[in-house]
Amino acid sequence: MHKNIVVGVCGSIAAYKSVEIVRELKKKNWDVQVVLTKEAKHFITPLTLSVLSGRPVYTKMFDVKNFREDHISISEFADIILIAPATASIIGKIASGICDDLLTCSVYAFKGPVILAPAMNENMWLNPITQENVEKLKKYNYYVIPPEKGPLASGKEGVGRLPEINKIISFIEKIGREK
């Protein structure tokens, strides 16, 4: 199976796990285009993901030197969009129709399956607004791989860990076979 996937990486400590996600997708013959939010660049570098994906990493809405409608080209490239880690912020933006960065605009221009793999503090995940936003996105046929329970970045134990990489990859493959 050969497919194209956009991997959106948001500003969470779990962003370092996106390296393994990209590596595993490449092993399975997926073409991977990474989009980093500005917050994600605090946790991981575009260079790391570019080397692993074999493609330039998108980080800005507008490339001044070589202007293109990047959100359109990204949405046309993708068979699937995966956002991992998906923060409460990105979930809220998408659920509210806010398109103020390259990743959210790409999601809104895309007509295929979008998979969210949330990672955040347990209180943020269990917040009723986050839960309402997740349910709203599910009603619009977004896929959500629920976060797992375990040690969190805060040092506490709770629900909010990024799902295991193999679980994310298996889910992507399943959706890829259906598409």
Per-residue pLDDT of 5-28, as tens digits, reads: 999 999 999 999 999 999 999 999
pLDDT at 2 over 80: no
Listed in order, strand segments (DSSP E) in the chain are 4-9, 31-36, 80-86, 114-118, 143-144, 148-151, 157-161
Distance (Å) of CA 55 to CA 36, 110, 114, 139: 13, 20, 21, 33
Predicted model pTM = 0.94
Domains of the chain, each with CATH number or no CATH = 4-178 (3.40.50.1950)
pLDDT for res 12: 94
> What pLDDT digit, counting tens, does each position of 32-79 carry?
999 999 999 999 999 999 999 999 999 887 664 544 557 778 888 899
